[in-house]
Amino acid sequence: MADQYDLVVIGSGPGGYVAAIRAAQLGMKTAIVERDALGGICLNWGCIPTKALLRSAEVYETLHRLDEFGLKADNIGFDAEAVVTRSRKVAAQLSNGVKFLMKKNRIDVIEGSGKLAGVGKVAVETKDGKTSELAAKNIILATGARARTVPGLEPDGERIWTYREAMVPKSIPKSLIVVGSGAIGIEFASFYRAFGAEVTVIEMLDRILPVEDEEISKEAARAFKKRGIKLLTGATVEKIEKRKSGVVATVKTGGKSETIEAEIVISAVGIVGNVENLGLEKAGIKVEKTHVVVNEWLETGAKGLYAIGDLVGPPWLAHKASHEGVLAAERIAGVKGLHPIDTTKIPGCTYSTPQIASVGLTEAKAKEEGYEVKVGRFPFRANGKAIALGETEGFVKTVFDAKSGELLGAHMIGAEVTELIQGFGLARTLEATEADLIHAVFPHPTLSEMMGEAVLDAEGRVLHT
């Protein structure tokens, strides 16, 4: 007889394991099925270990600026193997943390690959080929996504890498090409450039970081070029030739073709949902462009069957997956007063140097939606804390509805903006207006003061520029 559960979660990434915890808190007997390491891609091969790598890169770059701070050091260098080892230790620590949380919340962890096996049933196949069956009143699919592969740019683990190989290099290549300028591509470009690699970023659209506000993209391009990163926009890779010493990429830009030689190519051209071998077709679940279709409550249309995280719609972010996991668990439990997730209130972050962060509508999108906007800006170079830190590159931008004063969006580039953005994220969640934010008191001296000044600037009341 199959083991009986109130909820079975397939996948233990930041959406899946959080859903399981919330379900257990709500009194549900819960199991989670995981074929690899607890924590999924985010904790093991994504969000967390990449930030550990980028922290090493940040410290290394700062060491080369010691004279600015009146400091000295000799023989500054790096050990690529040690940098990677630290990153893997951080990932392992957090994966073990998830294991502890599962035990603490009395969640059964089932090792193996899970798939739907009929109404309220999950079949689990272990690595040795054995199969067992779980029975569940409800099921949450949280199988995540993987790197997208395009013809001619198929990863081979040697010359053409995905994020996985890029996270565990045996050495830092002297040169590399990054195809795709979204957050993943730009973060790897930033990391490898910090350690001396000659980096070329190729973007099909007309600007890098195309989902960001246009002014932010422009400032980012300027900053990356200053660091020595070559940017090719409006460009497509026509052909990749592999050679013993590396690769030769034929790139078409503006009707002209050029060849670029490099040791390594990193493919960062998006993701595809892990929808295969889940039994979706038999369950009647709709899939569009490799992602499961759900309603505002994460319901698939099949009774008792939910899907969350990268498996469903954008933005494909770990924190969005976690909130979806909580929402799905609470929906199952019948919690009252729930609200669907508003994706315009979810911050997005890129942990490059400089960092980039945003929430809500870009200026262009706000105008496209018919808003009359008021825009405020404030530069890092006018902020006392930024000057003291030696971090004067970047700015904060705010976008308001001129009629109601609603904060429509906020966009930042510069040091630690990935920490600052949540202030505006909270403002969006609380439906704060320009007047509300003007009355907020920001501590001095902090980088956060720039947020207040950018609000004041939208009203023509900026104090320090």
- What per-residue confidence (pLDDT) applies to 353? 97
Does residue 256 lie within any of the structural domains?
Answer: yes
119, 171: one domain? no
Look at residues 251, 269, 287 and tell me which one is the last residue of a structural domain: 269
CA quadruple 374, 352, 144, 93: dihedral sign: negative
DSSP string for 179-244: E--SHHHHHHHHHHHHTT-EEEEEESSSSSSTTS-HHHHHHHHHHHHHTT-EEEESEEEEEEEEET
Does residue 339 lie within any of the structural domains?
Answer: no
H or E, element range at 32? strand 30-34
- What tokens does 354 get? 């400089």
226, 308: one domain? no
Q: What percent of the chain has pLDDT over 70?
A: 100
What CATH number is attached to the domain comprising 109?
3.50.50.60
86, 177: one domain? no
- Mean pLDDT along residues 27-32: 98
**What are the pLDDT digits (tens) for 309-318?**
999 989 999 9
249, 284: one domain? no
210, 176: one domain? yes
7, 99: one domain? yes
Q: Looking at the predicted structure, is the pLDDT value of residue 128 above 90? A: no
**What are the pLDDT digits (tens) for 197-208?**
999 999 999 999
221 or 255: which carries more pLDDT confidence? 221
**What are the pLDDT digits (tens) for 158-178?**
999 999 999 999 999 999 999
Measured in whole angstroms, the distance separating CA 167 from the mean position of its chain's CA atoms is 15
Task: Give the alpha-carbon dihedral of 304, 309, 312, 317, to 10 degrees.
Answer: 160
Distance in angstroms (rounded) separating the CA atoms of residues 8 and 114 = 10
Q: What is the pTM of this model?
A: 0.95
H or E, element range at 31? strand 30-34
172, 263: one domain? yes
Q: Is 287 helix (H, G, I), strand (E, B) or coil?
A: strand
16, 71: one domain? yes
Does residue 215 lie within any of the structural domains?
Answer: yes
Q: Looking at the predicted structure, is the pLDDT value of residue 3 above 80? A: no
Query: Measuring CA to CA, which residue among 401, 394, 442 is closest to residue 409?
Result: 401
Its domain, for residue 454, covers 354-458
- What per-residue confidence (pLDDT) applies to 2? 62
312, 257: one domain? no
Query: Measuring CA to CA, which residue among 298, 355, 304 is closest to residue 322?
Result: 298
- Mean pLDDT along residues 291-300: 97
Does residue 43 lie within any of the structural domains?
Answer: yes
- Mean pLDDT along residues 58-79: 96
For the CA atoms of the chain, what is the radius of gyration? 24
- What per-residue confidence (pLDDT) applies to 226? 97
- What per-residue confidence (pLDDT) applies to 255? 85
- What per-residue confidence (pLDDT) applies to 244? 87
The neighbour count for residue 278, using CB atoms within 10 Å, is 24
Distance in angstroms (rounded) separating the CA atoms of residues 309 and 142 = 6
- Mean pLDDT along residues 279-302: 95
Does residue 178 lie within any of the structural domains?
Answer: yes
User: Is 372 exposed, middle or buried (CB count within 10 Å of its CB: 0-12, 13-18, 19+)?
Assistant: exposed
H or E, element range at 327? helix 318-333
- The overall average pLDDT reported for the chain is 96
- What tokens does 454 get? 């950018």
What CATH number is attached to the domain comprising 425?
3.30.390.30
Q: Looking at the predicted structure, is the pLDDT value of residue 1 above 70? A: no
Look at residues 269, 291, 321 and tell me which one is the last residue of a structural domain: 269
Does residue 153 lie within any of the structural domains?
Answer: no
Look at residues 269, 292, 316 and tell me which one is the last residue of a structural domain: 269
**What are the pLDDT digits (tens) for 321-342?**
999 999 999 999 999 999 999 9
Distance in angstroms (rounded) separating the CA atoms of residues 127 and 146 = 20
**What are the pLDDT digits (tens) for 107-117?**
999 999 999 99
Does residue 464 lie within any of the structural domains?
Answer: no
* Catalytic site residue from 64, 439, 444, 464: 444
- Mean pLDDT along residues 439-452: 98
Can you give 354-416 as a three-state secondary structure string? CEEEEEECCHHHHHHCCCCEEEEEEEHHHCHHHHHHCCCCCEEEEEEECCCCEEEEEEEEECC
Distance in angstroms (rounded) separating the CA atoms of residues 416 and 423 = 13
Q: Looking at the predicted structure, is the pLDDT value of residue 236 above 70? A: yes
Distance in angstroms (rounded) separating the CA atoms of residues 46 and 52 = 10
Distance in angstroms (rounded) separating the CA atoms of residues 63 and 76 = 7
Is 444 catalytic? The answer is yes
Distance in angstroms (rounded) separating the CA atoms of residues 139 and 160 = 37
140, 11: one domain? yes
22, 135: one domain? yes
- What tokens does 76 get? 């500054």
- What per-residue confidence (pLDDT) applies to 254? 86
Number of domains observed in the structure of the chain: 3
101, 17: one domain? yes
Does residue 463 lie within any of the structural domains?
Answer: no
